[in-house]
């Protein structure tokens, strides 16, 4: 198309403006009239520049995409091919599009974010104390608790340096290591609640495992206490249940689908992004075939999914949808800061004309009035920003509180598993060392006494009993006034159950 100009004889020039229907920018009414933010903006510009206009929609009904076979399509394709004088849609300024068309000064700043379904606001009730930790980390704590008891039992069973005679008041069964299966779990349960313990490990492998376990418990309890404090400060509030918190979580989620506009600038930006997360997000959308043909279709999918579909779209369009549907909200970090502008052919005089008109409208405040009309006042819903997603009365607060996840507690988990590996290595070393130092002597665990000794006998009663009560091989009272099991006690020996009773043969 040859560039046209306004002349006094011919009157106002009629411009062809290529557009795509998209709320709130431009929509077509049942009586075939166009209305919306861009319609009013172009009307204001036409009054200043002295032209008339009419709209046309490209056959593809998209903003514009560069295909290798047929070149540019959509609104950009109409401008490049001369089928339209102006590209008047929600066109994002990109470097690829700037190679084939010129853009005017931006009329709106924009970015890309997520449109999601608002989560359910639940009363925490009896589950309040478990909320500071996510369900996956609670399960992990139970697994670690089960694992540490088993490993303590293995060390107690196989490490020769963990064996020895246990004082009678500690273990009435006699010569035995302290870390039986029952005592191993008693040690783990008492230390995880900071209640102390009665018997500490004697072997190096057991002590290494104990230190790793204590570090894990310390970091976990400190993190739980700190996060619980934040939850208690928000006690009157009801917290929503969000299925993900970051784009990384969205990529890893197997229950939530993500979608974006097909053949749009967002699709191209995701594909060419240097971020591994955003590239993975593009791959996920492609694998799930979740591309949508229009924002209206994407919004409907978000509404009907009840939280299992998240739409990646321009923030301005997402905000408009959230203001009109109170079940929706914006979420996620803003991506790809950009601008929306009109597209004209390369070297067109209309770029200068539109730039001057946009500057005038910005200076006199008319541009801001149009923005408020279509974004702030067209809609009855408030609290649309889900990035401040915690409820205070009837409003969302700016204080986000999230349960502790496996990723948050990765350091504690690493400490524990490194300790487990090192302790098992030292267990092997201890067994080998004992076998070498004993010069091949068979490794035997201490026997459990067949006849249990009498315990907790006061020191003064032991003195009155006389020498008949202390037979050969029987130990005297311990330093604390309690009897202990003799080291040389065997199955052939025994302690009398009462004073004067002889040991069995």
Binding residues: 92, 97, 265-266, 314
Provide the β-strand partners of residue 396: 391
d(CA 445, CA 490): 12
d(CA 311, CA 301): 8
- Here the tokens at position 413 are 């988990």
- Here the tokens at position 204 are 């190096």
d(CA 225, CA 132): 8
Binding residues for L-glutamate: 92, 97, 265-266, 314
Residue pair 13/94 in contact (Cβ under 8 Å)? The answer is: no
SS3 231: helix
**Complete edge-to-edge strand list for the sheet that includes strand 86-87:** 51-56, 13-18, 86-87, 343-344, 102-103
SS3 117: strand
Residue 244 sits at φ, ψ, to 5 deg, of -155, 160
**Cα-based distances in Å from 92 to 77, 269, 287, 308, 346:** 14, 11, 25, 28, 17
Q: What's the angle, vertex CA 46, arms to CA 41 and CA 52, rounded to 5?
A: 120
Please state whether beta strands 13-18 and 51-56 pair in parallel, antiparallel, or not at all (unpaired).
parallel
Please state whether beta strands 309-314 and 395-397 pair in parallel, antiparallel, or not at all (unpaired).
unpaired
Name the DSSP class of 385. Answer: B
- Asked if the peptide bond before residue 242 counts as cis, ω within 30 degrees of 0, the response is no
Provide the β-strand partners of residue 385: 330
d(CA 306, CA 323): 17
SS3 452: coil
d(CA 362, CA 96): 27
Query: Terminus-to-terminus CA distance in the chain, angstroms?
Result: 119
**Cα-based distances in Å from 253 to 36, 114, 256, 288:** 37, 15, 6, 13
d(CA 211, CA 25): 63
Q: Which residues contact 174 (CB under 8 A, 6 or more apart)?
A: 165, 166, 168, 447, 448, 449, 452, 453, 485, 489
Q: Which helix (H) or strand (E) holds 209?
A: helix 204-233
Q: Which residues contact 352 (CB under 8 A, 6 or more apart)?
A: none
Q: Which is nearest to 118 in space by CA: 243, 257, 252?
A: 243
């Amino acid at each position: 198309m040859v560039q046209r100009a306004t002349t006094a004889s011919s009157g106002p020039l009629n411009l062809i403006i290529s557009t795509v229907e998209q709320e709130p920018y431009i929509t077509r009414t049942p009586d075939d009239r166009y209305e919306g933010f861009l319609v009013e903006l172009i009307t204001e510009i036409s009054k200043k520049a002295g032209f008339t206009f009419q709209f046309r929609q490209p056959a593809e009904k998209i903003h514009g995409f560069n295909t290798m076979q047929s070149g540019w399509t959509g609104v950009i394709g109409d401008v490049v091919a001369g089928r339209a004088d102006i590209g008047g849609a929600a066109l994002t300024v990109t470097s690829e599009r700037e190679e084939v068309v010129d853009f005017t000064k931006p009329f709106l700043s924009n970015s890309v974010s997520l449109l999601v379904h608002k989560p359910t606001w639940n009363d925490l009730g009896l589950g309040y104390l478990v909320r500071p930790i996510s369900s996956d980390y609670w399960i992990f704590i139970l697994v670690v608790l089960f694992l540490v008891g088993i490993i303590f039992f293995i060390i107690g069973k196989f490490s020769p340096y963990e064996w020895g005679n246990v004082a009678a008041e500690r273990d009435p069964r006699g010569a035995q290591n302290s870390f039986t299966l029952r005592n191993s779990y008693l040690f783990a349960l008492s230390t995880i609640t900071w209640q102390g313990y009665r018997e500490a490990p004697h072997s190096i492998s057991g002590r290494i495992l104990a230190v790793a376990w204590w570090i894990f418990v310390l970091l976990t309890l400190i993190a739980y206490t700190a996060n619980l404090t934040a939850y208690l400060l928000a006690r009157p509030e009801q917290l929503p249940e969000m299925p993900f918190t970051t784009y990384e979580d969205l990529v890893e989620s197997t229950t939530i689908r993500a979608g974006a506009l097909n053949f749009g600038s967002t699709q191209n930006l995701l594909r060419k992004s240097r971020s591994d997360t955003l590239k993975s997000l593009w791959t996920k959308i492609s694998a799930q075939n979740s591309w949508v043909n229009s924002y209206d279709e994407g919004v409907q999918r978000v509404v009907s999914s009840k939280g299992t579909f998240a739409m990646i779209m321009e923030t301005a369009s997402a905000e408009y949808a959230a203001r009109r549907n109170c079940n929706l909200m914006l979420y996620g970090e803003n991506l790809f800061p950009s601008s929306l502008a009109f597209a004209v052919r390369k070297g067109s005089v209309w770029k200068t004309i539109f730039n001057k008109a946009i500057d005038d409208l910005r200076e006199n405040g008319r541009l801001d009035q149009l923005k408020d009309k279509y974004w702030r006042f067209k809609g009855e819903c408030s609290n649309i920003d889900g990035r401040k997603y915690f409820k205070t009365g009837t409003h969302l607060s700016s204080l986000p509180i999230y349960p502790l996840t496996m990723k948050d507690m990765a350091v504690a988990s690493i400490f524990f598993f490194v300790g487990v590996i090192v302790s098992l290595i030292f267990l092997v070393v201890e067994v080998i060392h004992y076998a070498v130092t004993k010069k091949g002597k068979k490794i035997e665990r201490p026997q459990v006494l067949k006849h249990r000794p009498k315990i907790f006998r006061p020191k003064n009663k032991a003195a009155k009993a006389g020498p008949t009560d202390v037979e050969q091989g029987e130990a005297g009272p311990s330093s604390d006034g309690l009897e202990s099991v003799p080291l040389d006690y065997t199955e052939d020996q025994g302690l009398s159950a009462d004073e004067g009773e002889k040991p069995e043969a």
